[in-house]
């Protein structure tokens, strides 16, 4: 059984969309979405530098657009389940038919703007903890006033909070943690710092008429497969200020009988987690169009 997944913020790198523009129709789709959200996705995916695409309001629609065009390049596929990490949940909602592609890009643009505004209130950020016991790490983070914003499984937890709190974490790592790595994000996402963004996203979501998912949609909130479009959109709104439980998502993949996991562009992060947490499951990350043939082979072997 194949699971199709979409990465979250921080996966972007300068120029990562450049090779995808050589595929028929990709630039036209990107320019159409750019017009819809008044943001030049082609420029930001090709010529912008790392600081420009670190901006939350730019990174989020850019990542969703990248996921959608890379998945479309695979042709018609019917995975056994879909999921996304944080903003990748919007990409997954489009994969599942809950939102059409343009609505997904429009909504995530509003999400990014609202979260950027919330992040500007207080200087905050996120850092990944590599290694250690999750229970020990979570207790230590709470002692420092930090939130375990992403519990990713495979020994990885992401802490979020003020820059001062994160500096204290660098000086006082939890027992067993090998390394603390600052992430390329501009705020403490999935924490109480993002509550001002929730109301704005909820208002924007009222304009949508979501469909029920055509395939199993696995939610970050609790790893549960969600059956209705209305509930998926409700969870998309709430997850801005709620922790990401990717560990529970991977547990659900196992329960569903996953045999292969395919991560859309800019892939790598989620396949890395799956390699450690889902032994025996084949993984593939779409980084450039050069990966498409291998991806199609994986799909043919593992699709129902």
Q: How far apart are the first and last CA of the chain?
A: 6
DSSP codes joined into one string, 175-213: TTEEEEEE-S-SS-TTSGGGHHHHHHHHHHHTT--PPPP
190 given a catalytic annotation: yes
Q: What is the DSSP letter of 289?
A: G
Catalytic residue among 190, 216, 219, 302: 190
Sign, CA dihedral 132-135-136-139, equals positive
The set of residues, in sequence order, having a beta carbon less than 8 Å from that of 155 and lying 6+ positions away, is: 130, 131, 132, 134, 276
Q: In what order do the strands lie in the sheet with 177-182?
A: 147-153, 156-162, 124-131, 177-182
Cα 297 from Cα 303, distance rounded (Å):
10
SS3 241: coil
Catalytic residue among 34, 70, 86, 216: 86
85 given a catalytic annotation: no
The set of residues, in sequence order, having a beta carbon less than 8 Å from that of 281 and lying 6+ positions away, is: 253, 258, 259, 260, 261, 274
The set of residues, in sequence order, having a beta carbon less than 8 Å from that of 38 and lying 6+ positions away, is: none
Active-site amino acid positions: 86, 190
């Amino acid at each position: 059984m194949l699971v199709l997944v979409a990465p979250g913020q921080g996966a972007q790198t300068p120029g990562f969309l450049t090779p995808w523009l050589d595929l028929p129709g990709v630039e036209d789709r990107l320019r159409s979405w750019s017009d819809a959200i008044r943001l030049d996705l082609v420029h930001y995916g090709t010529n912008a530098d790392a600081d420009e695409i670190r901006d939350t309001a730019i990174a989020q629609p850019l990542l969703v657009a990248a996921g959608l065009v890379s998945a479309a390049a695979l042709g018609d596929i019917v995975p056994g389940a879909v999921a996304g990490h944080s903003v990748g949940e919007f990409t997954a909602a489009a994969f599942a038919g809950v939102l059409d592609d343009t609505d997904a890009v429009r909504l995530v643009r509003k999400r990014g703007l609202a979260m950027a505004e919330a992040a500007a209130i207080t200087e905050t950020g996120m850092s990944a903890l590599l290694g250690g016991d999750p229970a020990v790490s979570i207790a230590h983070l709470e002692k420092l006033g930090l939130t375990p914003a992403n519990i990713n499984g495979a020994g990885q937890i992401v802490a979020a909070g003020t820059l001062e709190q994160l500096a204290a974490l660098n000086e006082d790592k939890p027992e067993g943690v090998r390394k603390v790595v600052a992430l390329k994000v501009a705020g403490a996402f999935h924490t109480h710092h993002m509550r001002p963004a929730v109301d704005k996203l909820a208002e924007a979501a009222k304009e949508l008429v979501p469909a029920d998912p055509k395939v199993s949609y696995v939610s970050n909130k609790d790893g549960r497969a969600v059956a209705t479009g209305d509930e998926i959109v409700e969870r998309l709104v709430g997850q801005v200020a709620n922790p990401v439980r990717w560990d529970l998502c991977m547990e659900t993949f196992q329960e569903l009988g996953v045999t292969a996991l395919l991560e859309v562009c800019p892939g790598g992060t989620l396949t890395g987690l799956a390699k450690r947490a889902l032994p025996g499951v084949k993984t593939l990350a779409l980084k450039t169009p050069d990966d498409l043939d291998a991806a199609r082979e994986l799909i043919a072997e593992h699709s129902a």
